[in-house]
Structure 1
Amino acid sequence: MAPAKKRKRNEKRQHIAALILARGGSKGIRLKNIKMLAGVPLIGWVLRAALDSKQFNSVWVSTDHDEIEKVATTWGAQVHRRSPEVSKDSTCSLDAIQEFAKNHKEVDVVCNIQATSPCLHPSHLKEALELITKQGFESVFSVVRRHHFRWQEVNIGASSSSGFEVTKPLNLDPRKRPRRQDWAGELCENGSFYFTTRRLIEEGQIQGGKCAYYEMLPEYSVDIDVDIDWPVAEQRVLRFGYFGQDKLEVVRLLLCKISGCLTDGCFPISASGPEMVTVNEKDINGIRMLKQEEVDVILISSNEDLLPKGLAEKLSNMTDCQVIKLEKDIQGEVKAIMDSRKLDWKEVAYMGNDVQDVECLNLAGLSAVPTDAPVVALNAAKYSCHSAAGKGAVREFADHILLLKKKAKAQMEQNCIPGQMHSNCTEIPPVVEILN
């Protein structure tokens, strides 16, 4: 065997860890890191990308909060319980990363992934990491190209020896303003991730040594700081987010509560007539759409529901769905339905609305509640609808199921993210050596 091959075999393999910093005391948005974004906890989007990239020996969440720890472990991460000293408002990211590195001597390279970047894909992490493992860089960080004209900040109204202080252009000549297509723009950190070797971390640096950037396209460069960012980010992540490899493609059955989901749970009663309920046509169409895509739907009720007589038969005729009345042991009876169809929980979507549904909401591969559901049900569901019960919530959840199935299938069929070059393409992402 050649000496070079012997050396390679004997080399110690680097331990590369992904680390998401998720402090509980966010001032902009309370518990932002686990707030639901498009039906998924914010931190879940980046954890899914990190785990599915299969590039890391370990994936960690550094937190000081019990609820964040619970969500992190549910999504498959290990938890580093950070100390109070690095959990203050004044703590910087480097302090928390250094504490993690100090407590995990086995780690050679840390990838600090920002929880607030939900459009991160596994391929971004894989390609950026190769700059370290294959090209010898010591630190790599993500950037996005911006076409913003920058001007010097001044104190409006302040005077100087030459009169009032005026602003000056910083990156353009106003007399020769370039067209967008004629200007390459500037590279700006997008905060999505930072790869750094242990040596640099111990020296107090996240970016340093032999340093390079990894350029991400603008559509994947999403960051969330304040409430106003949330609805915009939700639309972006639905279009450009990473939905997993095959986790959601296998949904075969939706179990949907009638009272409090398909209906609004209200029953007008008069002395001269029978009880009545209303059903939204959008919800009925949503059920039909699911059945067209080979997702079976069963409508369920319980002994506690005050449904008018004959409603089950009418709904069955309208939707062409089986309607089942469950007794007290809802979880056990749902499991019996699954067993009869040879289904696992990951193949089942469940839509409920109250405390009796919590166990099924937790166990189902995909679960949802209307926006007006009690807090106990909202906390258990994987997707929180914007719509209220009887007002389109079922249709919204149906759209969500179908979108996730479509996204998961598309991502399995294509090797490249649209508009982003991968390592198996003829080009590679732009890389620049910043410092030798």
Structure 2
Amino acid sequence: MKTIAFIPVRGGSKSIPLKNIKPFCGKPLVCWNIEALEDCPEVDEVIVATDSDKIERVVTSQSYKKTKVYRRSAENACDTASTESVMLEYIHYAQLPSDDIFMLVQATSPLTETVHFTEALTVYGKGEYDSILTCVRNYRFFWNEDGTSMNYDYRNRPRRQNFSGMLMENGAFYINKVRNILESGNRLSGHIGIYEMPEYTATEIDEPDDWVVLENLMRKHVLSKRKEVKISLFLCDVDGTLTDGGMYYSENGDELKKFNTRDGMGFQLLREVGIKTGIITSENTKIVENRAKKLKVDFLYQGKRDGGKLAVTKDICEQLGITLDEVAYIGDDINCMELLEAVGVKACPADAYEEVKAIPDIHIMTRKGGDGCVREFINHIL
């Protein structure tokens, strides 16, 4: 018997285009749930069901071990298709055994953590319920349209500490057996149990305002619990990172490069908070020297050196009295890989070499080289 986590993500969101891969707190939205599930030992497989090439590329570019992409049919990816329809489509396609546990997970609830999946699956494993849904406790007072109060006596208004509230479905995830889903055609059936989640997980992302609210809640309730990584030094590559990788030549044979001004502002923001900056490139040009002066970087290393970029970075760390764990680096090609694998925080542009994207724990930016990917990474750090 296996436990399958199923995440349906369409490419056709109307209110927020491609919201499932839009950066949420520095990471594509769908990746938050995927990574929480990857860390959950009770989950055997994670299936991302999508109709979008872009969503598939984002998911497969990560180094996930349990996660696979399923290309859902166009019929079950339209605006009128139900979530149950794509669940049933996949169950029939994969010919899942009837005793398998099937957990529907909503990417629009990014504050769901590994502990929530683990606890709910543990409850389900006791066999007391046929299916489980997630809820939060709501302490609002509700009224009927006929002017009668629904969940309290307005003549004796209770204080919050004396009010038990009401359980509200938050849509984070649902657990059932394959057999039950096939028989009922529904995510829930039989004797239904409730797994109560924290009140801050009540909101799902549907409209742009939800995005702003949930990013703030994510920082306060989830990210604040994680160990803070101290960054003392920011380094980046040039060709394919600060530039688009193109090589332009004038009629006189002069080589030209195109840089992005927003990346330049990012270096200023780092400088303002006391983070040292540097550029490391295998090329050796006056253009890069001039750009480095403009950016006011603390360190510039050009040309091939013994030991490559990693050796250069170790020298800088020794000068500053810091470790590689305190270094953030963004690069795009195979000559960046050794350094990327060694530093504390690593990133690459959206169009980086595929082997670079496969480096564990690397942050893959949504922007390409020369298109503001360095600024995007800097924003993530700050």
Q: Secondary structure at the match of 1:116?
A: coil
Rg larger in 1 or in 2? 1
- The one-letter code sitting in structure 2 at the alignment partner of 1:207 is L
- Corresponding residue of 2:71: 81
Which residue number corresponds to residue 120 of structure 2?
128
Residue 417 of structure 1 corresponds to none
Residue 384 of structure 1, CA deviation: 6.9
- The one-letter amino acid paired with 1:334 is C
Mark the CA change 1:32 to 1:278 in structure 2 (over 3 Å): closer, same or farther. closer
Q: Structure 1's 17 and 368: CA in aligned 2 closer, same or farther, altered over 3 A?
A: closer
Judge conservation of contact 2:27–2:363 (CA < 8 Å) in 1. Answer: no
TM-score, length basis structure 2: 0.72
The alignment status of 1:149 with 2:141, answered yes or no, reads: yes
Q: Are residues 1:344 and 2:341 paired?
A: yes
Partner of 1:182: 162
Which of 53, 77, 85 lines up with 2:40 in the alignment?
53
**Aligned AA (2:160):** R
Instruction: Give the number of aligned pairs.
Output: 332
Over 3 Å counting, the alpha-carbon distance change for 1:102 and 1:72 in structure 2 is same
Cα separation, 2, equivalents of 1:244 and 1:97: 34
Shift of 1:325: 5.9
CA deviation map 1:338-388 (0-9, x unaligned): 2xxxx6277552477x97x6779846644577x9x669856xx5x973xxx
Secondary structure of the equivalent of 1:344?
A: helix
Identify the residue that residue 196 of structure 1 maps to in structure 2: 176
Structure 2: unaligned runs, 5 residues or longer: 243-258, 306-330
AA aligned opposite 1:41: P
* Contact 1:119/1:242 (8 A) holds in 2: no
- 1:112 corresponds to which of 89, 99, 104: 104
**Could you tell me which residue of structure 2 aligns to residue 103 of structure 1?**
93
C-alpha distance in 2 between matches for 1:136 and 1:279 = 54
Please give the residue correspondences for 1:2-401 in structure 2 after superposition, counting only pairs within 5 Å. 14-75=1-62, 76=64, 77-107=67-97, 108-153=100-145, 167-204=147-184, 205-241=186-222, 254-256=234-236, 282-286=269-273, 288-289=274-275, 298-300=278-280, 306=287, 309=290, 312=293, 315=296, 319=298, 321-324=299-302, 331-335=333-337, 338=339, 344=341, 347=344, 349-350=346-347, 362=357, 365-367=361-363, 377=371, 385=376, 394=378, 396-399=379-382
Query: Could you tell me how far apart the structure 1 residues matched to 2:154 and 2:47 are?
Result: 48
What's the CA shift string for 1:45-79, capped at 9, x where partnerless?
00001111121221101111111122232343212
Q: CA deviation at 1:110?
A: 0.6
Shift of 1:307: 5.2
| Coordinate RMSD, CA, aligned | 4.1
- What amino acid is aligned across from residue 39 of structure 1 in structure 2? G
Residue identity opposite 1:202 in structure 2: L
Contact kept in structure 2, 1:64 and 1:87, CA below 8 Å: yes
SS at match of 2:158: coil
Q: With the length of structure 1 as denominator, give the TM-score of the two structures.
A: 0.64
- Report how far residue 38 of structure 1 moved: 1.1
Aligned-pair CA distance for 1:308: 6.4
What is the distance in 2 between the residues matched to 1:252 and 1:27?
41
8 Å CA contact 2:47, 2:68 repeated in 1? yes
How far did residue 86 of structure 1 move? 1.5
Structure 1's unaligned 5+ residue stretches are 1-13, 154-165, 267-276, 292-296, 386-392, 400-436
1:146 is aligned with what amino acid?
N
Q: Output the CA distance in 1 between the equivalents of 2:61 and 2:292.
A: 38
